[in-house]
Amino acid sequence: MEYFVTVADNGGVNRAAAALRVAQPSLPQAVRNLEKDLSTKLFHRVGRGLVPAPAGEALVGPARQILRDVDAMRCARSGTWSVAGSTSMGD
């Protein structure tokens, strides 16, 4: 989900790979796997960029919520809470 959201936010694989600090080839494969799992196209390939397809647009919001929920669960387990990934509270 993180790869999908980052690709959607950055409009392409190269910028998303840089933002995530991962190897570029892993991103298209992850997106293709997600598309296969969901049996739908999530992006339209336009030149060198990617534009969310209708299914991709519909998934972005729920995917962001899933990522927030996972972060909240991790924070709850560790006893900390992060705000925008930069601050921890609780001891």
* pLDDT attached to residue 9: 94
Residue 42 structural domain: 2-89
Each residue's pLDDT, cut to its tens digit, for the chain (91 residues) gives 999 999 999 998 999 999 999 998 889 999 999 999 999 999 998 887 889 999 999 999 999 999 999 999 888 887 765 555 544 444 3
Q: In sequence order, which ranges of the chain are alpha helices (DSSP H)?
A: 2-10, 13-20, 26-38, 54-78
Domain count, the chain: 1
**89: which strand partners?**
81
Q: What is the CATH number of the domain that holds 24?
A: 1.10.10.10
* Rounded Cα gap, residues 22 and 17, in angstroms: 5
Indicate the pTM of the whole model: 0.77
- From residue 80, alpha-carbon distances to 14, 18, 70, 74, 75 in Å are 33, 28, 13, 8, 5
